[in-house]
Amino acid sequence: MAMTTTGTVNEMIMSSVFTLTTPLSRRFGPRLGQLLSKRSGTPDQVIETPSFVTSTSRGVVPHLSRDHHRATKAIRWANVPFETFLEHNPPVPTLLTGANPMHNFLGFVPGQHLLSLCIRDPADGREMPPNGNKHTSAYCLRGVRKVSPENWRTYVEACQPDMVVAMYDQPFTDPPYSQKRLTKSIERTSAWLADLLLSLQSSQSSRHRPLVLVQMAGGTNIAARKAFSTNLTDILYGKEADAIAPLTCLDEGVFGYTFDLVPLRQSLDPTTPDSPTPTADPTLPDPVPSDVSTQSCVQTTQLIPFIQASLSSLPTTKIRVTHTARSPHEILRLIQDVGIDIFDAHWAQKAADVGVALDFQFPVPKHGATTRRNGKRDLGHNLYHSQYTHDLCWMASSFSKERPCTCLACSPFSPATRIEHSIVDHDSQDPIASNTQKPSFSRAYIHHLLHTHEMSAHSLLTMHNLTILDEFFSGIRSVLSTAEGKSFFVEVDRFVDEYDETLEVFDEARLLWREVDLARGKGRLAREKSKQTQSTLGTAIQG
């Protein structure tokens, strides 16, 4: 059942595999799998699927120092949009030498963190200048930059990520797109994929060859999506075949398929906000921070036919990735009805930005207190709310009343070692505990940190939310593995019945975030303000 991505081609260099343990004959429906990632000189890494990839901003996991992102076991795979590095030419990460250059530059550990590169931030749906036959437009602080297929393969070769999303033609001009535009998009994406595959194969210098993911083109046109998939599996002849030999078709060189949901949502509902334009006038009050994914009214069921169309003719064996699913409900439906293997953590990380501590579980442990008018339970706690002022409990109670969650916020440890700065310092450490578990940080403490604009709140919330998300996926896998997936459908229904999908608690948190920000008064730079309002991750640095 195991299959290497490209048969004979990649075996010599690396043999990372994605293996499904559920029947391959099932094209759509929940699947269990295992991604075994190999990288020369580092231990093998195993990621059980369904699972998630952690989003980064400017190359780092927002709010986490390196010791924190390493201690957060939930972070197994980080996706790095490369575009911010285009501010410098040549991009600084391409100047690095030695093994694992991009991992080292960003502080990720090969063997512990799978690192994938893409060009654009999948959460950023802002309008962009049109792409060309030989370039895609990317965005960085210094403005729009053109990236050519040649640029992209040079960057990838220099950075040596574990995985790369081939350059693709995603229009970010005003939707809807014409048939002609979509045809062009398909042609370009295919050509650019071929270009990357060719260069990766002919590259002798690189000891390491990244796995290639392809973004599924075709927009919201079912026929176009199907045509793109057919393109991938068509056996090539003549000059085209020579160009990618020994591959016989593009799909042979592809490790998996990726689906960015932001452009799909924008296409289906043109009122979906894109990344808002930064407030030009710093004296104006901040707009409430928005989020492309949560504010769209596009339902998951509307997205599914397009994803299915892409997958209808492709091998079922390859890994399937989506970006910016907006809720656990959407994740569950995409697992149930499509069989998506990897999601990003964008929504959970964004929750940490606005002060929401996640507190939910799959399968639903028992019926809990309902807090919404619609009779549903919240997915988390808006820790800005005054109800938490005196709440000395740990963040997640639905998880377990007896045991806190395992993140460093809920299960902190006293340091294993402390830096000694002088020859008499050992004396000062004598009776102090080392490497022992400490009490959890309380909701009241984080409530206090949020209201006093302390950045530590977001560090604690990020570690916690990623860990809760990890538990969620672990729960999904255990339900899928125990009962052949039969009870999974029942559990999905129970989950949807139990937890509020309208994410009202997020909206309330955003409003309180705004209030606290206004109370804080003037004195913040417009740039910092705009950072807070963007759909991309992170909050402004507090001056």
Partner 1 sequence: MQFEVLARCKTTRARVCRMKLAHGVTMLPTFMPVATQAAIKGLTAEQVDSLGVSLLLNNTYHLNLRPGLQVLNEAGGAHKFQGWQRNLLTDSGGFQLVSLSKFTTITEEGALFSSPFTGEPTMLTPEESILIQHTIGADIIMQLDDVVSSLTVGPRVEEAMERSVRWLDRCIARHEASGKTTTQNLFAIIQGGLDPVLRDKCLDEMTKRKDGVAGYAIGGLSGGEEKDIFWKIIKQCAEKLPEDRPRYSMGIGFAEDLLVCVALGVDMADCVFPTRTARFGVALTHGGPINLRLSKHAVDLNPIDPDCPCPTCKDGTSRAILHHTVTHETSAAHALTLHNITFQAQVMGRARTAIMEGTFPEYLLSFFKQYFGDNGYPEWCVNALRTVGVDLLREGGKVISGSGAKWEYAED
List binders of Zn ion among 458-517 (CB under 5 A). Answer: 464
Among 281, 430, 522, 523, binds partner 1 (CB under 8 A): 430
Q: Rule CB under 8 A: is residue 282 a binding residue for partner 1?
A: no
List the interface residues with partner 1, window 130-189 (CB under 8 A): 141
d(CA 69, CA 99): 21
Q: How many residues bind partner 1 (CB under 8 A)?
A: 72
Q: Rule CB under 8 A: is residue 424 a binding residue for partner 1?
A: yes
Site string for partner 1, 97-126 (x = CB under 8 A): -------xxxx-------------------
d(CA 317, CA 524): 50
User: What are residue 481's phi and psi, to 5 degrees?
Assistant: -85, -25
| DSSP string across 319-347 | EEEEE---SHHHHHHHHHHT---EEE-HH
Among 46, 95, 245, 518, binds partner 1 (CB under 8 A): 95
Q: Rule CB under 8 A: is residue 437 a binding residue for partner 1?
A: no
Q: Rule CB under 8 A: is residue 449 a binding residue for partner 1?
A: yes
284 binds, among Zn ion, partner 1, none (CB under 5 to 8 A by kind): none
**Of residues 517, 251, 478, 466, the one with CA closest to residue 358:** 466
212 binds, among Zn ion, partner 1, none (CB under 5 to 8 A by kind): none
Segment near Zn ion (CB under 5 A), from 122-130, 376-384, 397-405, 414-422? Answer: 397-405
Q: Rule CB under 5 A: is residue 357 a binding residue for Zn ion?
A: no
CA distances 254 to 44, 309, 313, 465, Å, are 21, 18, 15, 32
* Helix ranges, 78-178 (H): 101-106, 149-159
306 binds, among partner 1, Zn ion, none (CB under 5 to 8 A by kind): none
Q: Rule CB under 5 A: is residue 407 a binding residue for Zn ion?
A: yes
| DSSP string across 417-467 | -----STTGGGGGTT---S-B-PPPPHHHHHHHHHTT-THHHHHHHHHHHH
Which residue, 228 or 441, is less far from partner 1 as judged by CB?
A: 441
Which residue, 22 or 398, is less far from Zn ion as judged by CB?
A: 398
CA distances 464 to 379, 390, 399, 405, Å, are 13, 20, 12, 8
Which residue, 191 or 405, is less far from Zn ion as judged by CB?
A: 405
Q: List 136's β-bridge partners, or say none.
A: 147
199: Cβ–Cβ under 8 A, 6 or more apart, which residues? 153, 157
Provide, rounded to whole angstroms, the least separation between the CB of residue 406 and Zn ion.
Answer: 7
Q: Rule CB under 8 A: is residue 346 a binding residue for partner 1?
A: no
Site string for Zn ion, 2-41 (x = CB under 5 A): ----------------------------------------
CB atoms within 10 A of CB 93: 22
Asked if residues 81 and 159 have their Cβ atoms less than 8 Å apart, the reply is no
Provide, rounded to whole angstroms, the least separation between the CB of residue 250 and Zn ion.
Answer: 43
Largest CA-CA distance found in the chain, in angstroms, rounded: 77
d(CA 516, CA 478): 41
Provide, rounded to whole angstroms, the least separation between the CB of residue 268 and partner 1.
Answer: 32
Query: Which residues are near Zn ion by CB under 5 A?
Result: 405, 407, 409-410, 464
